[in-house]
Chain A
């Protein structure tokens, strides 16, 4: 099955409506830090862009534009307390089982079985669609998230792009 070329399709869709071309992020190189710890001793952090927040937190706007905010979600939060608001993808399967885009139950099981050392206690959700403020995201939002992950002793982060 051939893959969907999301960039080309989105470009075609929005430019045909009169929007200027979106400046997709494109990098020539990739940052690299060797990862030498065995998984069974590693602390893994979960980050998801699926628009998930807890019932006592500020909701995400499902049609967000330039939302640079993020939420910290304790990984033991029961799913009944989590909400998903994101209309840029078909979220119906995620509503049936949040693990499709926020796999905390599976990661907790992998922790319990010793496959990973630890799932860090707070997951991060951010990165709603239609972001144009790239510099602000990189210079303001991301350093704060990195700091939170470091405070929790994360060795690596698993990013789930919903």
Chain B
């Protein structure tokens, strides 16, 4: 998605959605991610440049995990999964 949008400068953190600035209650990691992003702000020279940051999530995750986690979240919170119907 980022490659299509081509923000002037961007960094990619390979964490699941909802943790782009780091893990909860890990201020050192959060700070480092921000410093890395701000560093790119002042050092990037190519429009659309994307820098991959080296941080790794503690376990593998994939699309199935995203579906499972969001469903678990809704169940925990007692929210109904929204059923969308494409218009005919």
Please report A residues at the B interface, Cβ cutoff 8 Å: 1, 3-7, 9, 17-20, 24-27, 29-33, 35, 37-39, 44, 50, 62-63, 87-94, 96-97, 99-103, 105-107, 109-110, 115-116, 156, 158-162
Q: Within the assembled complex, what's the spacing in Å between the Cα atoms of A134 and B69?
A: 29
A-B contact pairs, 14 of them (CB 8 A): A4-B62, A4-B63, A18-B86, A25-B4, A31-B8, A32-B8, A37-B42, A39-B41, A94-B19, A101-B18, A103-B34, A106-B21, A110-B38, A158-B34
The reply to whether B79 and A4 form a contact with Cβ atoms under 8 Å apart is no
Task: Enumerate B28-71 residues with CB–CB distance to A below 8 Å.
Answer: 30-31, 34-35, 37-38, 41-42, 47-48, 56-57, 60-63, 66, 69-70
Q: Within the assembled complex, what's the spacing in Å between the Cα atoms of A4 and B72?
A: 19
| B78 at the A interface (CB under 8 A) | no
Say which residue of A26, A30, A90, A115 sits within 8 Å of B17 (CB atoms).
A90
The reply to whether A87 and B70 form a contact with Cβ atoms under 8 Å apart is yes
Say which residue of A1, A88, A96, A158 sits within 8 Å of B37 (CB atoms).
A158
The reply to whether A93 and B47 form a contact with Cβ atoms under 8 Å apart is no
Say which residue of B30, B41, B66, B82 sits within 8 Å of A156 (CB atoms).
B41
9 further interface pairs, Cβ-Cβ under 8 Å (given A97-B25, A103-B22): A25-B5, A30-B7, A30-B48, A39-B42, A88-B70, A90-B69, A92-B18, A101-B21, A110-B35
Total interface residues in chain B, CB < 8 Å: 46
B residues in contact with A103, CB < 8 Å: 21-22, 30, 34
Task: Enumerate B1-23 residues with CB–CB distance to A below 8 Å.
Answer: 1-2, 4-8, 14, 16-23
Q: Within the assembled complex, what's the spacing in Å between the Cα atoms of A70 and B87?
A: 27
The reply to whether A96 and B7 form a contact with Cβ atoms under 8 Å apart is no
B residues in contact with A50, CB < 8 Å: 18
Q: Within the assembled complex, what's the spacing in Å between the Cα atoms of A26 and B3?
A: 8
Q: Within the assembled complex, what's the spacing in Å between the Cα atoms of A24 and B3?
A: 11
The reply to whether B6 and A27 form a contact with Cβ atoms under 8 Å apart is yes
Report the minimal beta-carbon distance from A45 to chain B, rounded to whole angstroms: 12
B residues in contact with A25, CB < 8 Å: 4-5
The reply to whether A31 and B30 form a contact with Cβ atoms under 8 Å apart is no
